[in-house]
């Protein structure tokens, strides 16, 4: 059986069990609403455009923050890969900074920027920058020395060596870093929006929680998970597989 059919069958069984449990009142509707209630919240959110505005706002922040984090991460990764001094100083704290959950940066972001759009984007940038930098560093450090020696014997050096040999050889790590940066930035965005004051999926989730609308809470959580899975599997996984195949990995 193909993986797609396995997944469909799994989710059909899961939703069926969920519906059965709600119908037999194995749990309270207030605590865990039925699939029908969640679907009705989704339809209502689309009709009154609450979810649409939230998605647009979230993707706008994600696009800005992720773009900046990829540029910063790539620059920092190249710097620490090519400079031993930078690796011994900046590189030594990157792992520590990456291990800090994004939500921990929220108090600092609020103190610096206030409870606004800039604070959320700042959290998103931090979410993706460190993991991207570490993957770029790993990719450049792991370029086979034979490639570099062969290029130098043919007269390549400096920027030309980096542009023609080192960076292309590290592309698989660049793709992996971009994929991880997206995942970290997406989670950071949701954490930042929980305390934001403008539209967004995270803000909608907090709004629903404050007013005890459990159906909308579950609905938004499902949307967040589905978007994450779709982007990862339909975009980044395919790119990663194609790159791995082309590079003979």
**36-246: what fold?**
MetI-like fold (1.10.3720)
Q: Note the pTM of the prediction, 2 decimals.
A: 0.85
- Beta carbons within 8 Å of 21's beta carbon, 6+ residues apart: 27
pLDDT digit string, tens, across residues 106-150: 888 888 888 788 889 999 999 899 999 999 998 888 887 787 777
Tell me the average pLDDT of the chain.
Answer: 85
Question: Which has the higher per-residue pLDDT, 131 or 91?
Answer: 131
List the structure tokens of 165.
């040999």
- pLDDT of 1: 67
The domain ranges of the chain are 36-246
| CA gap 164, 169 in Å, rounded | 9
Is a pLDDT exceeding 90 seen at residue 33? no
């Amino acid at each position: 059986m193909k993986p797609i059919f396995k997944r469909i069958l799994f989710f059909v069984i899961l939703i069926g069990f969920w519906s059965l449990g709600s119908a037999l009142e194995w749990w309270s509707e207030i605590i865990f609403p039925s699939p029908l209630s969640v679907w009705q919240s989704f339809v209502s959110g689309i009709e009154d455009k609450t979810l649409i505005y939230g998605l647009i706002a979230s993707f706008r922040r994600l696009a800005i923050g992720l773009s900046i984090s990829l540029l910063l991460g790539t620059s920092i990764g190249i710097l620490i890969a090519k400079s031993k001094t930078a690796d011994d100083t900046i590189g030594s704290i990157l792992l520590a900074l990456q291990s800090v959950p994004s939500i921990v940066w929220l108090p600092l972001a609020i103190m610096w920027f206030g409870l606004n759009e800039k604070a959320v984007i700042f959290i998103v940038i931090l979410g993706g920058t460190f993991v991207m930098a570490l993957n770029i560093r790993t990719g450049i450090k792991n370029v086979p020395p034979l490639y570099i020696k062969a290029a130098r014997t043919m007269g390549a050096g400096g920027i030309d060596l980096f542009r023609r040999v080192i960076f292309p050889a590290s592309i698989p790590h660049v793709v992996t870093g971009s994929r991880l940066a997206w995942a970290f930035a997406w989670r950071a965005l949701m954490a930042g929006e929980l305390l934001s004051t403008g539209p967004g999926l995270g803000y909608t989730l907090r709004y629903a929680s404050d007013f005890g609308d459990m159906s909308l809470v579950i609905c938004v959580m499902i949307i967040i998970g589905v978007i994450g899975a779709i982007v990862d599997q339909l975009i980044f996984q395919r790119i990663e597989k194609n790159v791995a195949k082309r590079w003979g990995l």
